[in-house]
Amino acid sequence: MARLIRTEKEVEGRYTEQWIVVDEDVLEQWPAGPLETVGRPVPRADGGQRARGEARYTADIKLPGMLHAAILRSPHAKARVRRIDTGRARRAPGVRAVLGPETGPLTDEPPYEGAPVAAVAAETSEQARTAVSLIEVEWERLEPLLDPEEAVRRNELIDEPNREERGEVERGLAESDAVVEAEYRTQTVLHNSMETHQAICEWDGDDRLTVYISTQFIWGVREEVAKRFGLPEDHVRVVCRFMGGGFGSKNGPGDYTYVAAELARATGRPVKCALTRREENLDSGNRNSTIQRLRVGARSDGTLTFLDGEFVNATGWDGWLASTGGPMRLLYACENVRTVEYGAKLNTPPMAAFRAPGFVEGTFGLECLLDELAAKLEIDPLELRRRNHSTHDAVDERPFSSKQLLECYRRAEPHWERRDEVRARSDATWKRGVGLASQVWYGGGGPPSYAWVRIGGDGRAAVITGMQDIGTGSATAMAQIAAEELGLPVDRIEVALGDSARGPYATISAGSSTIPSMGPAVRAAAADAARQLIEIAAQRYDREERVLSLKNGQIVSSDGGSWPLEEITGLLESGQILGKGSRGPNPTGMRVLTFGVQVAEVAVDVETGEVVVEKIVAIHDVGRVINPLGASSQVEGGIIQGLGHTLSEERLLDPSTGGNLTQTLDAYKIPTIADVPEIVTDLVDVPDEHLTNLGSKGLGEPPIIPTAAAIANAIRDATGADVRSLPITREEMLRALREASRQPAREEVGA
Amino acid sequence: MDILRPDSLEAARAALKNGSVALAGGTELVPLLRDRIVEADTIVEIRHAVPRGIQGTRIGAGTTLGELEVDPQIPDALREACRLAASPQLRAMGTIGGNLLQATRCWYWRLKYPCWLHGGGRCFAHEGLHREHAVFANAPCASAHPSDVAAALLALGATVRTDRRELPIAELYRLPTGDDRRMTGLEPGELILELEVPMPAASTYLKAMDRKRFAFALVGVAAARSPEGTRLALAGMAPIPWLLEDESALDEATPLPGNAYKLEIARALIRRALVAVAP
Ligand SMILES: Cc1cc2nc3c(=O)[nH]c(=O)nc-3n(C[C@H](O)[C@H](O)[C@H](O)COP(=O)(O)OP(=O)(O)OC[C@H]3O[C@@H](n4cnc5c(N)ncnc54)[C@H](O)[C@@H]3O)c2cc1C
Ligand code: SF4
């Protein structure tokens, strides 16, 4: 029966309450461990297509008669357009339409460098860009606000400060035998998706719009575009078949989509608006920088007495207050915790969600702080974390739906015990060490999400849903889930997705939610189809339903009989078996979280400041693992992105103009394959029995969370130097080494 | 914009007149044209005008870095400098001649800030961000010379042969002055044809970068030992490839607030390079 309930929905750590209709989640959990297909490594269904260049991304789509848009962006961090003349641009070759700042989302008061001011549509993108360069603007330059601390002082905030407190920090302080206080800083980093942000808009008449877009959420784009243009949502079709990376920056339509739609309306032709790499690095979102002033106290046995943190997020002109204090509130059992988070409103480009927003930054601070505390208390860092393991969520006093962090710690032991051996390989120049850091994050997904399963006369099945595979391999995982339930080999399952007109509503692919939201819906749809198959087979073969099951493409009877599936589906000729399924509710009164620990081994050249990460072991608890092969590639991707965040990536702004100096990939340094260490993935594959019929949580974000702190802690282990600021470039490493050599030996610092 | 493909040196010389620019691998020139930092109405592809390949100690200016990095005959410093430069794709296209003539990577300059080197009045890097910039001869322009290859050739004492003259590689470069802000002394249309690279007793090139590969030198140190002595040259440390008397000459550097760390790295790399080339 359909049930109307009020449930909590969480995306990227932000909770909302909403009404939903859910079908009861009637399926029983599958047994733990590898099954026929689920839990076994399956190569990505579209891997070959992608590798051969046959996958058609939004960037590859060329519609007949399609025009190309280019955007004039503000060269100043804060300015006003005194006068604008688009006459020469309008007359330039190939130009079909020009939009001035009076058309939203364009503006004549750009509040950050890269804000869109005017736009052109032309026959080729070169012509469009040339025309943009012919737009004459007289600027009035205004003084930008660039310093986040100054913004907090002036109360220029993106939102109310977020203050949370449990217990009493002052009481905790009084009970402390040791206190550590430190300031940590993280930098602004850019997503740098391989496929830049882009959309093609095509009108059909004046009230129907198709949007081809590189996005993480076709339904979100549909809703926002429909609202903006006053259309019924079903008049907007959103398509994203293959997607070249988003990492949180492609959750909504973005200015470029509206520009394409406006220009398409003005010209009556389809218009593509694709950001260049430089535009991408200016105005497609970022992980904002942070300043974190943290304090921790503990008794001599290591029991935490209090945690206290002040977090300044340099949010930029727009965005939201990422939960930088989240790890401090959630990771450890501690009675007295106080956090305050500020979001500074600056004349810098808006932040956007970026793979575990807030938690990546906050975990760097918290987990370095814990290691500094461990050193002061002379307690083993792994042991310190164990002693403060939390058995329930202390924020809302709720039980966890499942938590295997202690098992993660247990599996970390052999890697952690290599410490002496690794250190012993040091010499006069290269110092080696081992560090670890824990991780907590959301990733439980939630309703609504729907799937259909269709079985044809040939005994093959299609999963049909309006979800998108953003490159994570989630389509392959869906095929595995359907294959398991239908007793079919995985290559007899087709997954059709990425089109809002050809499937039911599905989750956003953000917040590690695709598998935990969609997986149970696909399983339910497949189970619905399987039930019908059994019912039909029971009639056809004159058996009781309860003796029949589906296995290896056969209908199998417990009395020994078996019939190929296509024998019964073939009877129906063009007839089809249709199953439908939806995501059930989240468990009430429980906190659903993911956990993990990473152990890093590093080598530091103490003369030149070079840091080489030699190995990272990633042990995570994300419930049931659907595809270990796809999962380990998610872990590797997260760690490599984390490595860039730790060592080499930083968006740099000129301190006086606020201009972005790292717009190109020679200046903005993401890791190369030569920088990638040995990565060992170990997933604690225990289903969350409370969450859904699948027991899976998401894995997109957890692996990037502890990497920076694990590396920084390994550096401290190797050299004794405290690196408290990211990225750990050569100058930062040399500075920390110099500081360490100036300080008295650690033992003498005393409590 | 026209593109010409002359089939001889003579034809190339004739084509290279005002308003035209020579194109070898194009890895540097094409981006500069696209960004309109270099303006030209004619591009002259010089593939058939400039020698390519290695003959004894002579290297054709059209030889790619990819060809050089695998050649066992050339001095170690040059081979290493090529191997550690750019990426495999870029080395497959980029020539040694073009490498010597690449422009600075100063971010202000590449983003067309109206700075001193672009003919403006001030250096943005001085007051702004300059972690990648020069520690020697860094006023009025603090840009750092990006070529690993040039530093190696400078330490090796290479000679440049153009279509009009021969000159020691050190003379290919000049520090910019108020009235002439160019960094090389080539005449308009002058083509580098060959490099003469004497064989040292031992040589090496060491490079510190922001990641393991595919980054410009924060500090590059080339050392070459010959009967006359050991010569040191630096990449990434001055607006042009920089010859260094010895380690103590680092004390004469004038680092900016944000790039003194380069000297610390240089000191370590110089010591290592000297050990590597010691008899
Ligand atoms: C992303 C990136 C990273 C790089 N990293 C490094 C690095 O780490 N280390 C390093 O040393 N270099 C690096 N480079 C520079 C690269 O090695 C050079 O771009 C390349 O060698 C230039 O050769 P080319 O043949 O492509 O020159 P082109 O682009 O064709 O020409 C460059 C310039 O030289 C002139 N020119 C070319 N040949 C001649 C000639 N024979 N006579 C006269 N003038 C000539 C052209 O007119 C032009 O002005 C990098 C480049 C890029 C784009
Ligand atoms: S260092 Fe030279 S190129 Fe860079 S901003 Fe200063 S003057 Fe311009």
Q: Which of A249, A283, A317 is at the close of a domain?
A: A283
Residue B95 alpha carbon to ligand 2 centre in Å: 25
Closest-CA residue to A156 (of A165, A168, A147): A147
Q: Are residues A35 and A117 located together in one domain of the fold? A: no
Q: Are residues A224 and A295 located together in one domain of the fold? A: no
For B151, phi then psi, to 5°, come to: -65, -40
Tens of pLDDT, residue by residue over A167-212, are: 999 999 999 999 999 999 999 999 999 999 999 999 999 999 999 9
Of B124, B208, B214, the CB nearest to A608: B208
**B35 has a chain A CB within 8 A of its CB:** no
Closest-CA residue, ligand 1 atom 31, reads: B98
Of B108, B129, B208, the CB nearest to A610: B208
Q: Are residues B90 and B205 located together in one domain of the fold? A: yes
DSSP for A115-162? -EEEEEEESSHHHHHHHHHT-EEEEEE-PPP--HHHHHHTT-BSS--E
Tens of pLDDT, residue by residue over A25-83, are: 689 999 999 999 999 999 999 999 999 999 999 999 999 999 999 999 999 999 999 99
pLDDT at residue A16, rounded to an integer: 79
Determine the residue type at A113: E
pLDDT at residue A744, rounded to an integer: 66
Q: Is the dihedral of CA B74, B78, B81, B85 positive or negative?
A: negative
Which DSSP letter does residue B64 get?
B
Q: Are residues A217 and A264 located together in one domain of the fold? A: yes
- Rounded (5°) CA angle B144-A648-A57: 105
pLDDT at residue A368, rounded to an integer: 98
- Helices A218-229 and A254-267, packing angle to 10 deg: 50
Residue B23 alpha carbon to ligand 1 centre in Å: 9
Instruction: State which residue of chain B sits closest to A662, comparing Cα positions.
Output: B107
Q: Residue range A712-728: average pLDDT?
A: 98
Tell me whether residue A225 is in a domain.
Answer: yes
Q: Are residues A625 and A744 located together in one domain of the fold? A: yes
How many independent structural domains does chain B possess?
A: 2
Burial class (CB in 10 A: 0-12, 13-18, 19+), A91: exposed
Q: Are residues B9 and B124 located together in one domain of the fold? A: no
pLDDT at residue A25, rounded to an integer: 67
Q: Is the pLDDT of residue A745 over 70?
A: no
Beta bridge partners of A386: none
Q: Is the pLDDT of residue A275 over 50?
A: yes
Q: How far apart are CA A213 and CA A264, in angstroms?
A: 15
Q: Which of A653, A668, A729, A731 to mutate to test the interface with B (most CBs of B within 10 A)?
A: A731
Which domain range does residue B7 map to?
1-49
Q: Are residues B28 and B60 located together in one domain of the fold? A: no
How many independent structural domains does chain A possess?
A: 3
For A440, the 3-state DSSP assignment is strand
pLDDT at residue A342, rounded to an integer: 98
Contact (Cβ atoms closer than 8 angstroms) between residue A651 and residue A662: yes
Q: Are residues A477 and A354 located together in one domain of the fold? A: no
pLDDT confidence tier of residue A3, bands split at 50, 70 and 90: confident
Q: Are residues B18 and B152 located together in one domain of the fold? A: no
Tens of pLDDT, residue by residue over A108-151, are: 999 999 999 999 999 999 999 999 999 999 999 999 999 999 99
Determine the residue type at A66: M
Contact (Cβ atoms closer than 8 angstroms) between residue B222 and residue B46: no
pLDDT at residue A20, rounded to an integer: 80
**B166 has a chain A CB within 8 A of its CB:** no
Q: Are residues A322 and A365 located together in one domain of the fold? A: yes
Tell me whether residue A86 is in a domain.
Answer: yes
Task: Kindly give, in sequence order, each residue whose CB lies less than 8 Å from that of residue B125, ignoring residues fewer than 6 positions away.
Answer: B106, B108, B115, B133, B142, B143, B256
Closest-CA residue, ligand 1 atom 28, reads: B26
Of B129, B214, B216, the CB nearest to A654: B129
Closest-CA residue, ligand 2 atom 2, reads: B141
**B109 has a chain A CB within 8 A of its CB:** no
CATH value at residue A86: 3.30.365.10
Q: Are residues A308 and A428 located together in one domain of the fold? A: yes
Catalytic residues of A, by residue number, are 701
Q: Are residues B141 and B214 located together in one domain of the fold? A: yes
CA torsion angle for A339, A343, A349, A355 (degrees, to 10)?
30
Tens of pLDDT, residue by residue over A430-473, are: 999 999 999 999 999 999 999 999 999 999 999 999 999 999 99
Q: Residue range A578-599: average pLDDT?
A: 95
Tens of pLDDT, residue by residue over B53-78, are: 999 999 999 999 999 999 999 999 99
Q: Are residues B61 and B193 located together in one domain of the fold? A: yes
Q: How far apart are CA B64 and CA A278, in angstroms?
A: 29
**B126 has a chain A CB within 8 A of its CB:** no
Q: How far apart are CA B204 and CA A513, in angstroms?
A: 52
Q: Is the dihedral of CA A375, A376, A378, A384 positive or negative?
A: negative
Q: Which of A237, A266, A283 is at the close of a domain?
A: A283
pLDDT at residue A751, rounded to an integer: 37
Q: Is the pLDDT of residue A305 over 90?
A: yes
CATH value at residue B154: 3.30.465.10
pLDDT at residue A24, rounded to an integer: 67
Q: Which of A582, A601, A630 is at the close of a domain?
A: A582
CATH value at residue B28: 3.30.43.10
pLDDT at residue A749, rounded to an integer: 41
Sheet holding A337-343, edge to edge: A162-166, A337-343, A304-313, A290-298, A178-186
Q: Residue range B100-120: average pLDDT?
A: 97
Which domain range does residue A195 map to?
61-143+191-283
Q: Is the pLDDT of residue B249 over 50?
A: yes
Residues of chain A with pLDDT > 90, as a percent, come to: 95
Q: Given its phi and psi angles, is residue A417 left (phi above 0), alpha (psi -120 to 50 degrees) or beta? A: alpha
Tell me whether residue A514 is in a domain.
Answer: no
Q: Is the pLDDT of residue A12 over 80?
A: no
